[in-house]
């Protein structure tokens, strides 16, 4: 390669590099989350279930808010009250943005979790939390769609049974899109951080 060809090659490399820098500047950086990013997942996209007031709810009802959806039951001894307590703390730590958070609790024990029970249960953590009470058929369908597990574990009496169930939460952005899968036990601060990121988007 002679000197002229070498200079020409260097010039093209410079142009390509400059173009690359410009393109990189135009590319929106992908947000980083603490929870598992499942943006674009083809499941758990919506629901249509009755709340404790008898009103049918869907994700569209909460548009403009980040939604954290959790499956559990009122007589759960550990995972459910811990998760709801943490979500109450999350809402408080969001400050003014706390009003832009909607926690939704879907019971996997509709036989015992009556509207009265669920109103009292949600009220113990935050009255703004919404409880959804599916029929047995609806529960089977929504659990399948959300890929969550639940199973009745018999107790000493017919009414003292417990429910094994998945312990993670599904997080939606203010546009109603499924974005995150938050595992149980991750803590308050990581959830606050993730929600702040989603609320900015």
Q: What is the pLDDT along the chain (201 residues), one digit of tens a residue?
A: 554 554 454 444 444 444 444 444 455 678 899 999 999 999 999 999 999 999 999 999 999 999 999 999 999 999 999 999 999 999 999 999 999 999 999 999 999 999 999 999 999 999 999 999 999 999 999 999 999 999 999 999 988 899 999 999 999 999 999 999 999 989 999 999 999 999 997
Terminal-residue alpha carbon distance, the chain: 51
pLDDT for the residue 28: 60
Max Cα-Cα span within the chain: 92
- CB of 88 closer than 8 Å to CB of 191: no
pLDDT for the residue 163: 94
In degrees, to the nearest 5, what angle opens at C-alpha 178 toward C-alphas 59 and 68?
A: 65
**CATH no., domain 36-200:** 3.40.30.10
Q: What is the pTM of this model?
A: 0.84
Give the residue extent of every domain in the chain. Answer: 1-30, 36-200
pLDDT for the residue 23: 45
What element of type H or E holds 40? none
pLDDT for the residue 35: 97
pLDDT for the residue 132: 98
Question: Cα separation of 194 and 17, whole Å?
Answer: 34
């Amino acid at each position: 390669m002679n000197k002229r060809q070498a200079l020409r090659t260097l010039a093209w490399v410079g142009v390509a590099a400059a173009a690359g820098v410009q393109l990189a500047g135009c590319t929106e950086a992908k947000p980083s989350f603490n929870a598992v990013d499942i943006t674009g997942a083809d499941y758990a996209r919506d629901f249509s279930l009755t709340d404790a007031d008898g009103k049918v709810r869907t994700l569209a009802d909460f548009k403009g808010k980040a939604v954290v959806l959790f499956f559990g039951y009122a007589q759960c001894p550990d995972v459910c009250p811990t998760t709801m307590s943490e979500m109450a703390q999350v809402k408080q730590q969001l400050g003014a943005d706390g009003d832009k958070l909607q926690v939704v609790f879907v019971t996997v024990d509709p036989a015992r979790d009556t509207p009265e029970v669920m109103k009292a249960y949600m009220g113990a953590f935050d009255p703004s939390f919404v409880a959804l009470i599916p029929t047995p058929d609806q529960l089977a369908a929504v659990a399948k769609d959300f890929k969550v597990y639940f199973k009745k574990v018999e107790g000493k009496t017919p009414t003292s049974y417990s429910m094994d169930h998945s312990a993670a939460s599904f997080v939606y952005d203010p546009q109603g899109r499924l974005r995150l899968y938050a595992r149980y036990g991750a803590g308050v601060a990581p959830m606050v951080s993730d929600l702040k990121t989603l609320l900015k988007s």
